[in-house]
Amino acid sequence: MIRIANVEMNDFITVASGIVPDVLDYVDRVCEVVKPASITLKTLTKNPIEPHKAPTVAKLHDGCYINAIGLGNPGLEFLKYMNRWGKCQFIVSIGGSSVKEISEVASKVKNFGEIIEVNLSSPNRRGFGESMSAYAKEVTQAVKDVVGKKPVFIKLGPWDSILEIAGKALEGGADGLTLINTLKGMKIDLNSLSPMLSYGTGGISGKCIHSLAVRIIHDVYKEYNTEIIGIGGVFSWEDAIELMSVGAKMVGIGTAILELGLAIVPKIREGVEEYLAEKGLRLCDVIGKAVRK
């Protein structure tokens, strides 16, 4: 059991956004078999968005991928199915192409899930995601105005300006931050000498961004001492402990599930529990321990 933003979670692991398909039976299976603290849903927008045309995903090397799904989602129509989901706690991810639009989505989802996560960092759809990061304070204020006491986390990317943007989100009233989203990159097909993904660029995820996630979470936690859900290349219990030691209270697992399957979730949990038992520590003893204030 862990408490984050005044919400009691059953565990320290969440499944990252975009990993679990929005299919009721499959979601129920994940909840029953893997027992994560929560599942973070795919980002919902006001209106449906078609995914980019294939190819949308490419493997760079073991444990490292690049993708450009492009925030494909069914829009708010999806909410009519969510009342049937009760076997997991959920983090509801939302997005939009304006402050007003994101606020409207927030007003519709405020009664679902334990936490609302605002995606201001996806690099794969022009006008959405990272395109809205310049308005982090305004977006956060608008969302907080309509959701009441529901905790709001802002998901940000691995940018040079991360401390400034994180500060703006917290000034706007964010209850915490999700760090980090994918790193914008490109992969070239050497046969056609053109970008491998249809969108051209894509978000790099997995092992190759783990050290970047560690550094950014460290810097943000040191600066603001805020609640953080840490994401970025978690493939082992060691990776999870690293993110928690620099300030993450919960850890998101994404690419590892794609590569190794759902069994990696309990394996990481068991590894963390064994580490804590061996060291005679509690989880709260680890969180932020590597950060010098």
Active-site residue list: 122
Contact 142, 165 (CB under 8 A): no
Phi, then psi, of 94 in degrees rounded to 5: -130, 160
Phi, then psi, of 130 in degrees rounded to 5: -65, -20
Q: Which residues are CB-neighbours of 111 under 8 A, at least 6 positions away?
A: none
Distance CA 81, CA 84 (A): 6
* Single-letter residue type at 31: C
Which tokens hold the place of 168? 């703006």
Three-state DSSP class for 274? helix
Distance CA 229, CA 221 (A): 11
Which tokens hold the place of 36? 């994560």
Distance CA 17, CA 15 (A): 7
Distance CA 214, CA 133 (A): 21
For every residue of 75-120, which 3-state class applies, written as one string?
Answer: HHHHHHHHCCCCCCCEEEEECCCCHHHHHHHHHHHCCCCCEEEEEC
